[in-house]
Structure 1
Amino acid sequence: MTDPRGGRRCHTPLNALHSAVYFSPEFDKEMEALGLAKAPGAYFSAPGYFAARSAAMGAVGPGTVTAAFFNFSHALIARHVPAVWAVAAPEQVLAARLRAADRLLRRLLGDGATASGEMAEAAELARHAAAGCVRAGRPLGSAEADQPVAQEPHLALWQAATVLREHRGDGHVALLTQAGLDGIEALVSHTSSGRGFTPAFARATRGWSEEEWSAAQERLRDKGLLDAEGRLTEAGTALRAELEHETDRLAAGPYDHLGAAGVARLTELAGGFAATALGNGAFPDGIFGRR
């Protein structure tokens, strides 16, 4: 690809389509039907999320989930895993997740869009890109790539977006580890940039206490990455930029495989679908910083 950031521009709308499922009432209902209901007042079903996002790897234990998810508290994960597998098998969870994606995309985009030629084209392009993902060192991406492809184009697009998202995330985790950041430090430094989730939402949903959050901030200050007011220093800003640049590099394979013209077209199509989804309330209000 001539533009190394082209993959990131394509990833952004695809990731929005992928991740909206976990915040949706459709997902909550499917998880509740399995016995994995969310707690009252919670943004999403924690047991359902841990089960649904890890189910492609099988009935894994809490250590595996913590290692793969990276920025969640192990104590929070261990509260739900492996208990979720006594409630529902991974195959049941994956089927419920796909049903939730089906209902969600139909609600956000409309039946006309989900059955459109543009959707079929986007699905084919996304699947072609996902075929270029590497497997070694990518536990979540590789596990998702093993899932049977749905016949319906909007679900095939969602599945390919999921493979691409997890493939990118696996590479990002490797880079965070190389940079010497643990899970909560990575989360604090990212939210301090003003992008992604707000600090309050990230802390609550990832299972970190205020004391743990403050301790991570102090460690980042000791590393010269955070200032006294909790903002990124020049070194912290440079590190986050380098991490994103290197993540783009490690995630480039699928988009190189698709080719520049295909990436441009997929970005256009996915961008249109994502814009519609966001306009129709794909995510709860107030959970993101700058978008």
Structure 2
Amino acid sequence: MTAVFNSFAPGLIADRIPALWDLISPEHAIQARQDAVGNALERLVGTEIVCSQELTEATKLAVAAANACSSPGRPLYSANSALDLPDRPHVALWHAATMLREYRGDGHIAVLGHFELAGVDSLVIDCASTHGMAKEIVMPMRGWTEKEWSQGRERLADRGLVDAEGRLTRRGAAVRDEVEAETGRLDRQPYEALGQAGVERLARYVHRLVGIAADNGVFPPPLRGFFAPASAVWNAL
């Protein structure tokens, strides 16, 4: 169980997953999650958008992309793809996005393993880059201790990927770029199935939805800078 969660501390998963099923059944957990997502999305983007023809089209595109993925070697994608598609279009869009995220994530974990960057090491090198979130956000969210984080940084320093202060070296930046490029290569299947025009339509609409949700406060202040305002995204695409 802990292996598929890679960047989460094994102790965090081991403490919570078995205990969770003493409180709620998987069926009830899935339904509660979908209900919460449906209500939150409607509140954040508005009923008019949730009921729009554009959202219905985006949902069809996202579902088509998600269903075009292959399952072998993709445990979290496969688990989500085995669930029934939600009836409400905006929840179905979220479900398809979850499948696509986990498909990419499963491939990313395989690539990290190839580069020997499993577990906390993958977070340390990402936080050391200009693209990553701050350690103060990531470390507690993923359940790692200060000691475990420091050990990961020491391993990366021994390989010449970060310096003594934990800053990314030129070699470390090159390795991170390779990881991202290979992850993208392994993630091409669903978008090849849509074709360029389909991908552009889906990206244009979903980016706008994310921008609207961000403008309406879905992200805490430290994360808001990772997302452009809806107007900027809409005008740029």
TM-score range, shorter chain: over 0.9
Unaligned runs of 5+ in 1: 1-63
1:130 aligned to which of 59, 62, 66: 66
1:78 aligned to which of 1, 10, 14: 14
TM-score (norm 2): 0.93
* Alpha-carbon distance in 2 for matches of 1:162, 1:173: 16
- Say whether the 8 Å CA contact 1:72–1:183 is kept in structure 2: yes
Matches within 5 A, 1:192-207: 192-207=128-143
Per the alignment, residue 166 of structure 1 pairs with: 102
By how many angstroms is 1:289 displaced?
Answer: 7.4
1:274 aligned to which of 210, 213, 223: 210
Q: What's the C-alpha RMSD, in Å, of the aligned pairs?
A: 1.3
* Alpha-carbon distance in 2 for matches of 1:204, 1:259: 39
Are 1:261 and 2:197 matched, yes or no? yes
Task: Provide Cα deviations, 1:233-286, integer angstroms capped at 9, x if missing partner.
Answer: 111101111111111110100000111110011011111111101111111121
By how many angstroms is 1:195 displaced?
Answer: 2.4
1:188 aligned to which of 100, 121, 124: 124
> Whose relative contact order is higher, 1 or 2, with alpha carbons under 8 Å and at least 6 apart?
1
* Alpha-carbon distance in 1 for matches of 2:212, 2:64: 24
Matches within 5 A, 1:209-248: 209-248=145-184
Task: Provide Cα deviations, 1:204-229, integer angstroms capped at 9, x if missing partner.
Answer: 11111111111111110001100122
2:111 aligned to which of 175, 193, 211: 175
Task: Provide Cα deviations, 1:146-174, integer angstroms capped at 9, x if missing partner.
Answer: 11111211111001000000000000000
- Say whether the 8 Å CA contact 1:196–1:289 is kept in structure 2: no
- Say whether the 8 Å CA contact 2:214–2:224 is kept in structure 1: no
2:28 aligned to which of 75, 83, 92: 92
Sequence identity of aligned pairs in percent? 45
By how many angstroms is 1:182 displaced?
Answer: 2.2
Task: Provide Cα deviations, 1:170-208, integer angstroms capped at 9, x if missing partner.
Answer: 000000011011210001001111324311111111111
Per the alignment, residue 141 of structure 1 pairs with: 77
TM-score (norm 1): 0.76
Q: Alignment partner of 1:277: what SS?
A: helix
Question: What letter matches 2:88 in structure 1?
Answer: E
* Alpha-carbon distance in 2 for matches of 1:139, 1:159: 16
Question: What letter matches 2:151 in structure 1?
Answer: A
* Alpha-carbon distance in 1 for matches of 2:171, 2:68: 34
Q: Alignment partner of 1:286: what SS?
A: helix
Unaligned runs of 5+ in 2: 228-237
Are 1:154 and 2:93 matched, yes or no? no
Per the alignment, residue 17 of structure 1 pairs with: none
- Say whether the 8 Å CA contact 1:198–1:289 is kept in structure 2: no
The count of aligned residue pairs is 227
* Alpha-carbon distance in 2 for matches of 1:132, 1:105: 25
Question: What letter matches 1:101 in structure 2?
Answer: V
Q: Alignment partner of 2:221: what SS?
A: coil
* Cα distance change on mapping 1:78 and 1:197 into 2, 3 Å: same
* Cα distance change on mapping 1:288 and 1:191 into 2, 3 Å: farther
- Say whether the 8 Å CA contact 1:255–1:263 is kept in structure 2: yes
By how many angstroms is 1:83 displaced?
Answer: 0.8
